[in-house]
Amino acid sequence: MKKQESIGIGLIGAGERGCYILGARIAELWKETGMAITGIYDINPQRSRDAKVFLENLYQKNGLDLTIQLFASYSDLIASGSVQIVMITTHTDQHRIPAVTALRSGKKVYLDKPIAVNLEDSAAILACERETGNSLIMGFTRRYEAAWRKSYALLKEGAIGALKMIQIRSIIPYTRYFQTWHRKSAWSGGALNDKSSHHFDVFSWFAESRCRSVSAAGGMSGIFPPDPQAPLRCSQCDRDCLYRRRLNPDDQQEGTQVLGYDSWIQADDERNRADTCVYQPGADIIDHAVCNLTFENGVKASLFWSIFGPHAADQETLELVGTIGRIYLTRSEGTVRLIQWGKAEETVFDLKGPEFFTSHYGADLQLIRDIRAFYDGSIPAAGTKDGHNSLNLVVQTLNSIASEGVPMHIQSWEM
């Protein structure tokens, strides 16, 4: 068993994403990247303790004898000499303070998406970046996923000519957004922020232009009507229900690890519960939207999004239409089809390497490698400006929905 000097990552927010997804991927790649989680701070001490046991065991299995230090505050963790990279995976409304403190420390910073729940917070992170000259890398997973990178590369090579239209369909039964802390807009910015911050980021990434306007329709579908008689949580319920945690198709596919821990499944506090009944009153998030965007260079983009509907192989697709061809990506199949004028046969790229079957279709492993490259000085695939622009589009989409489709003109854009 090795005891080795590593590039220390300090984890702030040791939940599903920070510990059980990214923490696990970092442990799996430590021999390749030389990075390891050396410190943890979570506002909930039980989560810190559980994460320490989970990760130390994982490092042990991967041949590293590691003792992870638990910190009493985010600022102690950031100041610690054993931390070289600060990784922030707290609830979204809790991103700003650790992000700003970490940027000021001069250390490398990873911040998960969405950047924040409001533009004041994301503007403060942006201003801090400008003031300190330090920058951060953001976790927009599709930026690190093979099929999306391939689509972008094909576009840049001119395979479809000049880009004219982009469409994303995302019909994913992520009813967990009603069951976890995401159910309150004040904590998550809503399901549209949590899920479609990725999609809005993809639009900006591919369009490479300033967005001029957004118009949208959407709201609450009524599929999950608040029921004051509903049990508090799945574990107290014997109803026949499609959305029961652990048993619904998305939980089955993703194997959500936090459902094994008492701090989620026994928690009284709504923010900490992972299995609140989807019908419990109090959720204030929208669950579907259609949305049109116009970019300054003439590109038009459209989003067709819901968090209900059956689990299916084509639940998320990207389509790009250019002057001489089309690109069509099916996310859960890991395929990209290229259709070109004058070619009878389409070309199909199968991007399912061995890592495709790991979290986020392999994107998280690539993200860890990109964090290492960022530590060494590379420019990140996504940073604060991308986070801010994506949130701006989420906010303006919600404004347009609230005013029944009136187009919202985008006043500021970070290039």
Ligand X SMILES: NC(=O)c1ccc[n+]([C@@H]2O[C@H](COP(=O)([O-])OP(=O)(O)OC[C@H]3O[C@@H](n4cnc5c(N)ncnc54)[C@H](O)[C@@H]3O)[C@@H](O)[C@H]2O)c1
Residues that bind ligand X (CB under 6 A): 12-18, 41-44, 47, 74, 89-92, 94, 112-114, 139, 141, 181, 194, 258, 360
User: What's the closest the beta carbon of residue 133 comes to ligand X, in angstroms?
Assistant: 25
Alpha carbons within 13 angstroms on the beta-carbon side of residue 79 total 6
Angle at the Cα of 206 (from 307 to 330), degrees rounded to 5?
45
User: What's the closest the beta carbon of residue 345 comes to ligand X, in angstroms?
Assistant: 35
- In the β-sheet with 163-171, what is the strand arrangement from edge to edge? 347-350, 335-340, 325-330, 316-322, 163-171, 300-306, 288-295, 211-219, 408-409
User: What's the closest the beta carbon of residue 194 comes to ligand X, in angstroms?
Assistant: 5
Helix (H) or strand (E) holding 8: strand 7-12
Helix (H) or strand (E) holding 265: helix 262-265
Q: Which residue, 92 or 390, has its beta carbon nearer to ligand X? A: 92
Q: Which residue, 141 or 390, has its beta carbon nearer to ligand X? A: 141
- Cβ atoms of 363 and 370 closer than 8 Å: no
- The two tokens of residue 267 are 């928690």
Q: Which residue, 181 or 328, has its beta carbon nearer to ligand X? A: 181
User: What's the closest the beta carbon of residue 73 comes to ligand X, in angstroms?
Assistant: 9
Closest CB to ligand X: residue number: 15
Q: Which residue, 14 or 327, has its beta carbon nearer to ligand X? A: 14
- The two tokens of residue 105 are 């420390």
User: What's the closest the beta carbon of residue 253 comes to ligand X, in angstroms?
Assistant: 14
User: What's the closest the beta carbon of residue 62 comes to ligand X, in angstroms?
Assistant: 22
DSSP letter for 29, please: T
Q: Which of 156, 198, 408 is nearest to 293 (CA)?
A: 408
Backbone angles phi, psi at 35, to 5 degrees: -105, 145
Q: Which residue, 63 or 249, has its beta carbon nearer to ligand X? A: 249
Q: Which residue, 186 or 406, has its beta carbon nearer to ligand X? A: 186
